[in-house]
Structure 1
Amino acid sequence: MKEERLDEIDRKILRELRSDGRISNQKLAERIGLSPTPCWNRVRALEAAGIITEYVAVLDQRALGMPDTVIIEVQLERHDDAVFQAFGDALVELPEVMEAYLVTGEYDYLIKVAVSGTEGYERFLRQKLYKIRGIRHSRSTFALRCLKRAHSVVP
């Protein structure tokens, strides 16, 4: 099932699940105008096709004691496969890292990190990020306010 094969009912299902991944099949079926069995079959088909990849709980980073978000740009010393692999593997292991992207441009990585203020950020840099080999340079920006947060695109 490719994106162009999605009909309006599939799109409605995806929009509902995007906003409430814990919705019951019965309630989902009611909202989109299907009976429960065809609704269940469509959801399973969307999962099997890889369009729905996972269901998650979104945690409040403020409530977890890490209210601040920092965007870090990282430039590596070398650009070979081993360095990229080692750096990427190390990032995956850091719990503060919420997102990490290999990017084009002046910097090699764009990393979104949750921290507790400037002290938490300094600890993250000194005790974790800068312990990863291969960093040439980094540049950081504290987010002042989140204007939009989406966990997937709208179908």
Structure 2
Amino acid sequence: MFDLDAIDRRILRIIQKYGRITNADLSARVNLSSSACHRRVQRLEDEGVIRGFAALLDRRKLRRPTTVFVEISLSGQANELLESFESAIRSIPDVLECHLMAGTADYLLKLVVEDTEDFARIHRTHLARLPGVAQMHSSFALRTVVETTALPL
């Protein structure tokens, strides 16, 4: 665990919201000199608190408006089966997230697709070929109510 003080938290909140903010603007917002602010950001990067920076793309403009959640139950829990499944899932470019779950399903996937036909293609060419799958249930999101990449600080 990394200890964050109030200034670190302010820096992280601002960077999460305004990833392209200049160091000069960031330092003014957190009331630090430019060099002190830069050192803090560098330390947060070096410690792995800041893992990187990314552009957030508009999935609708890129013709991927539909979010699909897929619950997958495997036929067993052997370590080799889990590793085989996870290796295969990493090779599917359409999968945005894959989580090993506790509960009724073993894995939960998140995909964004163009439409039901696009999902059918992904299902046919990738998901149906995953190793060890006993059951698969897909749910289409009707509307996104909350969507953020910002962690609460």
TM-score normalised by length of structure 1: 0.94
Residue equivalent to 1:77: 75
Deviation of 1:94 (Å): 1.3
Residue equivalent to 1:138: 136
Deviation of 1:106 (Å): 1.4
Deviation of 1:105 (Å): 1.1
Output the CA distance in 2 between the equivalents of 1:60 and 1:87: 30
Uncovered stretches (5+) of structure 2, i.e. residues with no partner: none
Residue equivalent to 2:101: 103
Residue equivalent to 1:10: 8
Residue equivalent to 2:88: 90
Uncovered stretches (5+) of structure 1, i.e. residues with no partner: none
Output the CA distance in 2 between the equivalents of 1:151 and 1:60: 13
Deviations 1:90-120 (A, max 9, x none): 1122121111100011110000011111111
Deviations 1:5-45 (A, max 9, x none): 31111110000000011111111111111110000000011
Residue equivalent to 2:27: 29
* Matched pairs, number: 153
Output the CA distance in 2 between the equivalents of 1:49 and 1:144: 39
Output the CA distance in 1 between the equivalents of 2:56 and 2:77: 34
- Pairing partner for 1:67 from 65, 68, 78: 65
TM-score normalised by length of structure 2: 0.95
Output the CA distance in 2 between the equivalents of 1:60 and 1:112: 16
Deviation of 1:46 (Å): 0.9
SS of aligned partner of 2:143: coil
* 2:8 maps to amino acid: D
Q: Does the aligned pair in 1 maintain the 2:17–2:150 contact within 8 Å?
A: no
Deviation of 1:152 (Å): 3.7
Residue equivalent to 2:38: 40
